[in-house]
């Protein structure tokens, strides 16, 4: 298994988008993959007008769609002329629709979807940028979440966050090409002290599984000492000089995570390094 095509979200005139394309290009060179650029914006529904100014609202929506098409054309020009993509196989897709829907629809052509993290932990405008949670839930492929301004990813030192659920197994399998190419892989489970022995045995099993797939990995079991599991993972990654966290996404119901808190939600909002998430 390897990666043959990467799908990257592009926004015209956005510095983080420029950086994200650089990251996608370097990733594509590493795996000899094509890069597919995707841009999308949606026309906002008109406000409810009790006085029925339908003609004015219709004209405004037509004008907005024209502006969106101009923005998408600018995004395509920026993508096709991006210096980092020189010599790579590239494709372009765009759509006047909700960005998350377009990314999910076009993801059928790729092995990984690359999108930006919500700026400063604030949910992006869904008419301008994809909601990461929606893309992760619906794409069916691993999604690489890139923090604002991040333009490179060595993935030479990787942390694989383990929990004994389907999503974590899927993440480990989806990340195998990255894990094989890494110099250091740490499989870590964060568990309460009373579950330490069970968690340690599970991590050992995962390390053995990875070894059978030519991945050099070591296992770690930590008890939680910080405010959240996500903070524990980030601190562990920093301590081991890792620039990528691989994790299963939404092991609980997504609504439950967003209401009560969860590891996926915290990683999407606050993680300072790239995350490869699978559902």
How confident is the model over 96-111, as a mean pLDDT? 96
Q: What is the CATH number of domain 5-146?
A: 3.40.50.620
Tell me: pLDDT of 221 over 60.
Answer: yes
pLDDT in tens, 222-278: 887 766 889 999 999 999 999 999 999 987 665 555 433 488 989 998 899 999 999
Q: What is the distance between the terminal CA atoms of the chain, rounded to a whole angstrom?
A: 19
Percent of the chain with pLDDT over 90: 74
- pLDDT for res 120: 52
Q: With 50 as the cut, is the pLDDT of residue 18 above it?
A: yes
Return the ∠ at Cα 85 (arms to 16 and 79), rounded to 5°.
55
Q: How far is Cα of residue 270 from the mean position of the Cα atoms in its chain? A: 13
13: helix, coil or strand?
Answer: coil
Alpha helices in the chain (DSSP H): 15-31, 54-80, 99-106, 132-139, 166-174, 176-181, 196-212, 229-239, 254-260, 263-270
Percent of the chain at pLDDT exceeding 70:
90
The pair of three-digit structure tokens given for residue 266, joined into one six-digit string: 């915290």
CATH 3.40.50.620 fits 157-278, yes or no: yes
Instruction: Assign 3-class secondary structure to 44-91.
Output: CCCCCCCCCCHHHHHHHHHHHHHHHHHHHHHHHHHHHCCHHHCCCCEE
Confidence of residue 87 (pLDDT cuts 50, 70, 90): very high
d(CA 161, CA 210): 14
Task: Pick the closest to residue 174 from 247, 98, 103 (CA basis).
Answer: 247
DSSP 272: S
Answer yes or no: is pLDDT of 145 > 50.
Answer: yes
Token pair of 66 as six digits: 């024209």
Q: What is the mean pLDDT of residues 23-42?
A: 97
Q: Return the pLDDT at 57.
A: 65
Please give the pLDDT value at position 215: 97
Domain ranges of the chain: 5-146, 157-278
Tokens of 16: 């983080």
CA distance 190 to 162: 8
Q: Which of 106, 105, 148, 114 is nearest to 28 (CA)?
A: 114
């Amino acid at each position: 298994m390897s990666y043959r095509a990467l799908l990257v979200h592009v926004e015209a005139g956005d510095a983080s988008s420029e950086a994200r394309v650089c990251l996608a290009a370097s990733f594509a060179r590493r795996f000899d993959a094509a890069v597919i650029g995707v841009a999308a914006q949606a026309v906002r529904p008109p406000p409810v007008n009790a006085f029925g100014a339908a003609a004015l609202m219709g004209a405004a929506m037509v004008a907005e769609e024209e502006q969106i098409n101009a923005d998408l054309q600018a995004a395509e020009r920026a993508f096709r002329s991006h210096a980092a993509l020189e010599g790579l196989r590239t494709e372009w897709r765009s759509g006047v629709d909700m960005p998350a829907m377009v990314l999910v629809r076009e993801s059928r052509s790729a092995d990984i979807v690359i999108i930006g993290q919500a700026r400063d932990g604030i949910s992006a405008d869904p008419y301008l940028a994809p909601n990461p949670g929606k893309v992760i839930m619906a794409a069916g492929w691993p999604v690489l979440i890139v923090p604002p301004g991040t333009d490179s990813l060595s993935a030479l030192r990787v942390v694989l966050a383990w929990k004994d659920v389907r999503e974590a197994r899927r993440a480990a399998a989806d990340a195998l090409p990255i894990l094989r190419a890494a110099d250091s892989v740490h499989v870590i489970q964060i568990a309460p002290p009373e579950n330490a022995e069970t968690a340690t045995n599970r991590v050992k099993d995962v390390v053995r599984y990875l070894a059978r797939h030519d991945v050099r990995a070591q296992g770690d079991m930590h008890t939680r000492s910080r405010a959240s599991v996500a903070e524990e993972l980030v601190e562990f990654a920093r301590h081991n000089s890792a620039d990528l966290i691989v994790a299963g996404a939404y092991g609980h119901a997504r609504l439950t995570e967003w209401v009560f808190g969860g590891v996926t939600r915290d990683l999407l909002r606050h993680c300072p390094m790239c995350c490869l998430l699978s559902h």
